[in-house]
Amino acid sequence: MPAQAGAARIAGIGMDIVRLERVQRVFDRHPQRFVQRVLGPGEIQTFQRRYARDPRRGIRYLATRFAAKEAFSKAIGLGMRMPMAWSRMQTLNGPGGRPYVQLSEPLAGWYAQRFGVAHVSVTDEHDIVAAYVVVEALAQPAGAPLNAPHS
């Protein structure tokens, strides 16, 4: 099927599954350090509110954000190498609750040169959480071949 003009192309997909008990164990050993290392500023505020109301909800939030960061790093093909760092990729929620990706420097600049929009979805069940990230390719100039190598 031919590609349609203006249609988004997928540049990367990442997924991660995390057991809640694993996150709980690390949090129990190093609560403040783990939160500061993994979460960005906006995520920390939400975590603190949720944890204060119900520690189990706080840990679920922490685990979903950890999974989202891992999935994002896979989608962009970096893993946890510079400029990727956990706290530089935040999964925040819009007014209706829909999650979105917010990046900070130097990851934001690196990402903007290579990729388009990032889409994130997170879910949690009894003992596991999961995250799925789809990263769009940058828009191609009119007339550019669709299979041109990506730098």
Comparing CA positions, the residue from 53, 50, 48 lying closest to residue 36 is 48
Q: Is residue 48 part of a domain?
A: yes
The rounded distance, in Å, linking the Cα atoms of 102 and 117 is 10
Q: Is residue 120 part of a domain?
A: yes
Q: Is residue 70 part of a domain?
A: yes
The pTM of the full predicted model, rounded to 2 decimals, is 0.85
Q: Is residue 35 part of a domain?
A: yes
pLDDT of residue 151: 44
Interior angle at CA 104, CA 103 and CA 108, nearest 5: 65
Q: Is residue 133 part of a domain?
A: yes
Q: Which domain holds residue 29?
A: 10-137
16 is in an annotated binding site: yes
Q: Is residue 67 part of a domain?
A: yes
Q: Tell me the average pLDDT across 18-45.
A: 96
Q: What is the pLDDT of residues 92-143, one digit of tens each?
A: 999 999 999 999 999 999 999 999 999 999 999 989 999 999 999 987 655 5
pLDDT of residue 26: 96
The rounded distance, in Å, linking the Cα atoms of 102 and 139 is 20
Q: What is the CATH number of the domain that holds 87?
A: 3.90.470.20
Residues 128 and 19: beta-carbon distance below 8 Å: yes
Largest CA distance in the chain: 55
Q: With the C-alpha atoms ordered 74, 80, 86, 87, is the resulting torsion angle positive or negative?
A: negative
Average pLDDT of the chain to the nearest whole number: 89
The residue count of the chain comes to: 151
Q: Is residue 146 part of a domain?
A: no
127 is in an annotated binding site: no
Write out the E strands in the chain. 10-19, 89-93, 99-103, 115-124, 128-137
* CA 126 to chain CA centroid, nearest Å: 21
Confidence of residue 78 (pLDDT cuts 50, 70, 90): confident
Q: Is residue 22 part of a domain?
A: yes
Domain total in the chain: 1
| Neighbouring C-beta atoms of residue 45, cutoff 10 Å | 12
Comparing CA positions, the residue from 113, 138, 142 lying closest to residue 8 is 138
